[in-house]
Amino acid sequence: MNENLEAVIKEICQKYANDSARMMDIVRDVQSVSGGVSKDAMRMIAAVVGVAQVEVESVVTFYAHLSEQKKGKVVIRLCNDFIDRMFGADRVAETFEKEFGIQFGETSADGLVTLEYTPCIGMCDQPPAALINDKVVTWLSTDMASRIAKAVKEDGGIDKLNLPNGDGNNAHPLVNAMVHNNLREKGNLIFEEFVSGSALKNAVAETPVEVIKNIKASRLRGRGGAGFPTGMKWEFTRGADGDEKYVLCNADEGEPGTFKDRVILTEAPDLMFEGMTVAGYAIGAKTGVVYLRGEYQYLTAFLEDALQKRRDAGLLGKNILGKDGFDFDIRIQMGAGAYICGEETALISSCEGLRGDPKNRPPFPAQKGYLGKPTSVNNVETFCAAAKIMEKGAPWFAQKGSQGSAGLKLFSVSGDCKKPGVYELPFGTTVKELLAKVGAEDAIAVQVGGACGVTVPPSDFEKEICYDHLATGGSVIVIGPGRNLLELAHSFMEFFEEESCGYCTPCRVGNTLLKRRLERVIDGKGMPEDLEYMEQLGNTIKSTSRCGLGQTSANPVLTTLANFRSLYDGLVKKSEDGLQPSFSLEKAVGLSESIIGRKSIHHHE
């Protein structure tokens, strides 16, 4: 068995040139072959690629899709974010548990199936959804869950179920997915007919510096949400010392409620690759890497095919479009289940085969990024926009949108609305206008910007969605009548607790403390002081955390406290007797009781 494992591991490591920087690929492959990455496997990998065993363990234990324990042959990962639970994920979970006779978090004794919860998998427009190994199943019902369970038990998988494919390229033989695009409104930017190479032709007709000038003139800002001017990022990277430079594409969209990149990757990957190639030309990079979230594994064959077509057409490779010395190629780097890897320096760490810990800044990636070289990390949608700008010109792009936020933006709309899906709209669209389009005029709140965003009350529905007012990387979650906003905040805090990398104290510990105090309030055991405590704690987490995750993770609590204070006030009570309502004597003595093996005698009134 061990000799066999050793041979398998040697072969896998060989595939990646025994390069420790490809650790993500190595451990992902070992996981998929062996069902887990055991201590034995870690030791063998370490020996082959020349790192310490604990370094391998450090990577394996970081990512949700990797594990030391052997997983079942079929791993069912049910999305349990707030939106999926709004639409019945809990009932689907019960069905799976009943059918398989195990709880979530467990593997069946025969090693057939593992049930796990997972945060947002990018299918919030078709909930509840789950990943069954790499296959996505959407719009799950309890009936469907029973059918899936039966197929897994009988056939060891769901291939024979012949689940219907979705629309567009979801039905492409290389995708073959039950996913729907739900592309509700196309502007004329990303999903317009695009001729491969047309942007690149215009780019190579100019100097790289002129290309950057164009991007700057378009006022394009990062579409991931942070909104850094793209042209400036490219300029810094171009200007940094060093011959070797990199273009990284952030396709790790993991913000709860975001799925617009999924639709780009399905319907317009060529445009994205073209944008990356333009960036490669502008910056002077020879290599591009697409960091694709593990949940989108089902798209890799299709994306590899799109890359190959571009190589065949002379749009990737050596001397692109006959331009002497313009060499550029792209590889896809798979993630393995970690929201933090959407943070650009964590993404770089992960691409380097490390834990997805963000890096200290400075130096910024433009100076010292991937493998220590100058690197520009941009969002999927940003590259698409950059390609269109090179095709149609900066003024064409800049004339749309609002003052500080030029151009069109993709919005992923989910939750309580008639038409969830992707909308391409100009920046500056108000929440109210968006709600009218999606069929959700009765919304009681709108979560703009995902878990780390803002819970917007109806009194602010006139506000514009743009970098200066309500910023979002695309996520818009509609909350309809009858929903509990504190449960929403709580589910986001659970998410951040789970997804914090744990590097810095305020994010690692603070989010757990904040979540617990919120639970106390929701349980009706809170006092007015608890609200003050949450505000203070939230501000400490926000002000002192090391990266964007911790700097925004308290937002669900802080913005609901600011905008929906009455919900909290109605739950907390002043303590009449000076005792803490959250204190439970039974719980406090529980551990002691379990040690001494008998119940203590409580003195109640």
Partner 1 sequence: MSDKIKFSIDDVEIEGEVGQTIMEAADAAGVYIPRLCASKNLTPHGSCRVCTVKVNGRSQAACTQPIAPGIIVENDTDELKGHRRSIVEMLFVEGNHYCMFCEKSGNCELQAVAYRLGIAAPAHEYLFPNRDVDATHPEIFIDRNRCILCGRCVRASKELDNKNVFQFVGRGIEKKVAVNADANLSDTDMAGVDMAASSCPVGAILRKRVGFAIPVGERLYDAKPIGSEIESNRAENK
Please pick, from the candidates 29, 44, 62, 425, the single residue that binds partner 1 as defined by CB under 8 A. Answer: 62
Residues 424-453 that bind partner 1 (CB under 8 A): none
Please pick, from the candidates 173, 322, 362, 597, the single residue that binds partner 1 as defined by CB under 8 A. Answer: 362
Counted residue by residue, the chain has a size of 605
Which residues touch 376 (CB under 8 Å, ≥6 apart)? 233, 234, 237, 245, 246, 247, 248, 279, 283, 285, 365, 366, 369
Please pick, from the candidates 411, 497, 553, 556, the single residue that binds partner 1 as defined by CB under 8 A. Answer: 497
34 binds partner 1 (CB under 8 A): no
Binding part of the chain for partner 1, among 227-235, 276-284, 463-471, 513-521 by CB under 8 A, reads 513-521
Please pick, from the candidates 360, 484, 584, 600, the single residue that binds partner 1 as defined by CB under 8 A. Answer: 360
Q: State the minimum distance, in angstroms, from the CB of residue 570 to partner 1.
A: 23
338 binds partner 1 (CB under 8 A): yes
Residues 466 and 483: their CA atoms lie apart, in Å, by 26
Instruction: State the amino acid at position 6 in one-letter form.
Output: E
Q: State the minimum distance, in angstroms, from the CB of residue 54 to partner 1.
A: 4
Q: State the minimum distance, in angstroms, from the CB of residue 543 to partner 1.
A: 5
Which residues touch 143 (CB under 8 Å, ≥6 apart)? none
Q: Give the burial class of 551: count Cβ atoms within 10 A of its Cβ; 0-12 exposed, 13-18 middle, 19 or more buried.
A: middle
| DSSP output for 473-530 | SSEEEEE-TT--HHHHHHHHHHHHHHH----SHHHHHHHHHHHHHHHHHHTT---HHH
Please pick, from the candidates 231, 506, 526, 556, the single residue that binds partner 1 as defined by CB under 8 A. Answer: 506
Residues 154-193 that bind partner 1 (CB under 8 A): none
Q: State the minimum distance, in angstroms, from the CB of residue 64 to partner 1.
A: 9
Residues 574-593 that bind partner 1 (CB under 8 A): none
Binding part of the chain for partner 1, among 49-57, 81-89, 258-266, 302-310 by CB under 8 A, reads 49-57
504 binds partner 1 (CB under 8 A): yes
599 binds partner 1 (CB under 8 A): no
- Note the helical H segments in 316-449: 344-351, 380-392, 394-398, 431-438
Q: Give the burial class of 559: count Cβ atoms within 10 A of its Cβ; 0-12 exposed, 13-18 middle, 19 or more buried.
A: buried
Binding part of the chain for partner 1, among 108-116, 214-222, 392-400, 494-502 by CB under 8 A, reads 494-502
Q: State the minimum distance, in angstroms, from the CB of residue 39 to partner 1.
A: 5
Q: Assess contact for 249 and 291: CB atoms under 8 A.
A: yes
490 binds partner 1 (CB under 8 A): no
Residues 556 and 100: their CA atoms lie apart, in Å, by 35
Binding part of the chain for partner 1, among 9-17, 50-58, 114-122, 225-233 by CB under 8 A, reads 50-58
Residues 58 and 52: their CA atoms lie apart, in Å, by 10
Contact map string, positions 517 to 556, toward partner 1, x by CB under 8 A = x---------------x--xx-xx--xxxx----------
61 binds partner 1 (CB under 8 A): yes
Contact map string, positions 279 to 298, toward partner 1, x by CB under 8 A = --------------------
Q: State the minimum distance, in angstroms, from the CB of residue 337 to partner 1.
A: 11
Residue 553 structure tokens:
């993770």
Residues 94-123 that bind partner 1 (CB under 8 A): none
Please pick, from the candidates 95, 181, 287, 500, the single residue that binds partner 1 as defined by CB under 8 A. Answer: 500
Residue 482 structure tokens:
């009858």
| DSSP output for 406-420 | BSEEEEEEEESSSS-
Which residues touch 286 (CB under 8 Å, ≥6 apart)? 244, 245, 280, 327, 328, 329
196 binds partner 1 (CB under 8 A): no
CA atoms within 13 A on the CB side of 330: 31
Strand order in the sheet with 246-251: 329-334, 287-292, 246-251, 375-379
Which residues of the shown chain bind partner 1 in the complex (CB under 8 A)?
Answer: 39, 43, 51-55, 57-58, 61-62, 338, 355, 360, 362, 497-506, 508-513, 516-517, 533, 536-537, 539-540, 543-546
